Amino acid sequence: MDERDVMLAKSGDEEAMEKVFLKYKGDILRNSKNFFIKGGDIDDLLQEGYIGLMKAVKSFDETREVCFSTFANLCIKRQIITAVKSSNSNRNQKLNTSIIGDKDINLDDLVQYAKPSVNFYSPEDILIGKELVEMLGEFLNNNLTPLEKKVFFYTCKQYKYNEIADMLEEPSKKIDNAIQRVRKKILGYLSEYTRD
């Protein structure tokens, strides 16, 4: 499959759209497996992934120097995450946030979760933003302690410090201090970056 198939699918060619669906089936499955949706199952998440892929096909601009596969994966992930967030599930809230477990925090997962919706940005903006976020992610991976990484992860998912303290079984003051250290490190990094 090449980008010509994408353009044919965009113009309504059902056979080309089927090729695109088959090509990205694995990506949709991979992006769906770490999330849960209220009152739904994996099929609901897969459906959201396919909706994201359809949106990518419809909004892809071949005149811009952006690879369709990168753009498609961003759209797929955003659609799945939007569906999970809108499900407002208290019952599955811990499941939705348990992807880190006791392993090291994978900030790439967090970056995908925290990324703004692709509907408001051009593909170039998305790629530039992704590069900047990846640089910040590398800095954080190298400069945050394991506790700070977990606190940062949950803070980005909009948990309050006392909720984070309960989940991590740490004193609230310790979590609050970790949040302040993370903020200081990020602000320090950003001020250095913008100075260059």
Q: Which amino acid is at 33?
A: K
Query: Is residue 150 within 8 Å of 100, Cβ to Cβ?
Result: yes
Max Cα distance, the chain (Å): 59
Query: Is residue 51 within 8 Å of 29, Cβ to Cβ?
Result: no
C-alpha to C-alpha distance for 37 and 39, rounded to whole angstroms: 6
DSSP letter at 63 equals: T
DSSP letter at 165 equals: H
- Residue position matching structure tokens 């096909």: 57
pTM metric for this prediction: 0.45
Tens-digit pLDDT profile for the chain (196 aa)? 567 888 888 888 888 888 888 898 888 888 887 777 766 677 788 888 888 888 888 888 877 777 888 888 888 888 888 887 776 444 444 444 544 444 455 555 544 444 444 444 555 555 556 666 677 778 888 889 999 988 888 887 778 878 898 889 999 899 989 989 988 888 887 776 555 4
Query: Is residue 9 within 8 Å of 57, Cβ to Cβ?
Result: yes
**Phi, psi angle pair for 108, to nearest 5°:** -65, -40
Coil, strand, or helix at residue 35? coil
Domains defined for the chain, CATH in brackets = 1-89 (1.10.1740.10), 104-196 (1.10.10)
